[in-house]
Amino acid sequence: MTKETKDSAGKMNVASDKDSAGRPRSLDKSVQSAIGARLRAYYDEVAREAVPDRFVELLKQLEKKDSGGEGRS
Amino acid sequence: MQVSDEFRDGLIEAIPSLRAFAFSLIGRPDRADDLVQETLTKAWAHHHSFTPGTKLRAWLYTILRNEFYSQMRKKGREVEDVDGAYSRNLAVHPEQQGHVDMGDMNRALNTLPADQREALILVAASGFSYEEAAEICEVAVGTIKSRVNRARKRLAEVMGVEGEAEYGPDATAEAAIAHTALHK
């Protein structure tokens, strides 16, 4: 559903950046999905990596401490 | 009270996602991983305050976010200027495969105020709903929506992604603001 507004000359203006209530219109869908795709690619670069050893070690240490072992702090 | 296997497994499963979120907040892989380490340690220590069956990932993100801001406050830094704009620009994640220019994205994200940046990442990259993001950031859903909207617009300009809705009297002002932010 397209929101249409009229400019001062009374012409229909489909690409206005405010809707008829004066609220900012959301980005064009194609722009939104282009941004989203880049963001997810950026995010996934990190999220796809294998879990570094330091975290595996950390959880081992935390578990050891819990069970009263000699975990180094 | 012991940490359950389920809880521990949930932590492990969340690590990649937490690292990605931390990196998007900080822009430096080493410091991002430090933040994740703090988060996991805190989560473990407070496991009793997590209600099993509720959303672990959102709970962990909340801890990470709070830890991030608390560290920023302690250092007395402007969150927008984490470690200086230039160090974020240059930070490259070790295993990048060249599918996206991390430097470009870092620079673009750095033009956003922190509240817009985190809202955008939570909704558009981490896959949270507006409602979940609102809970994590402790603001109203409408606030998140507005931040995400503004963040997308700013990114579109900074990254040169064009769309019909962007031409208008506000475009010049926004570009000027983005320009100023880049050269602060």
Q: How far is A37 from chain B (nearest CA, A)?
A: 9
Provide the pLDDT for residue B78.
56
Q: Is the pLDDT of residue A58 over 70?
A: yes
Under the banding of pLDDT at 50, 70 and 90, the label for residue A67 is confident
Tabulate helix, strand, coil % of chain A (nearest 5). 45, 10, 45
Q: Name every chain A residue with its beta carbon within 8 A of the beta carbon of B162.
A: 31
Provide the pLDDT for residue B53.
85
Position of tokens 């069956």?
B53
Tally of CA atoms within 13 A in the half-sphere of A52 that contains its CB: 19
Q: A11-38 pLDDT, tens per residue? A: 454 455 556 666 556 677 888 888 899 9
Dihedral of CA atoms B139, B141, B145, B148 in degrees, nearest 10, equals 40
Q: Is A3 left (phi over 0), alpha (psi -120 to 50) or beta?
A: beta
Give the CA angle between residues B118, B77, B138 to the nearest 5°.
35
What structural domains and CATH numbers belong to chain B?
1-101 (1.10.1740.10), 111-184 (1.10.10)
> Between residues 28 and 67 of chain A, which touch chain B (CB distance below 8 Å)?
28, 30-32, 34-36, 38-49, 51-52, 54-55, 58-59, 62-63, 66-67
Q: Is A24 exposed, middle or buried (0-12, 13-18, 19+ CB in 10 A)?
A: middle
Cβ within 8 Å, pair A35-B96? no
Provide the pLDDT for residue B104.
84
3-state SS class at A24:
strand
| pTM summary value | 0.74
Instruction: Name the phi and psi angles at A16, rounded to 5.
Output: -60, 145
Arithmetic mean of pLDDT, A42-69: 91
> What is the chain B residue with the closest CA to A25?
B165
3-state SS class at A5:
strand
> What is the chain A residue with the closest CA to B17?
A47
Provide the pLDDT for residue A2.
47
Q: How far is A55 from chain B (nearest CA, A)?
A: 7
Q: Which of B2, B19, B28, B154 to mutate to test the interface with A (most CBs of A within 10 A)?
A: B19
Provide the pLDDT for residue B96.
47
The mean pLDDT values, 10 residues at a time, for chain B of 184 residues are 90 96 91 97 96 93 96 73 47 52 86 95 96 97 97 90 52 61 60
Structure-model confidence comparison of residues A4 and B180, the more confident one: B180
Give the CA angle between residues B112, B117, B121 to the nearest 5°.
145
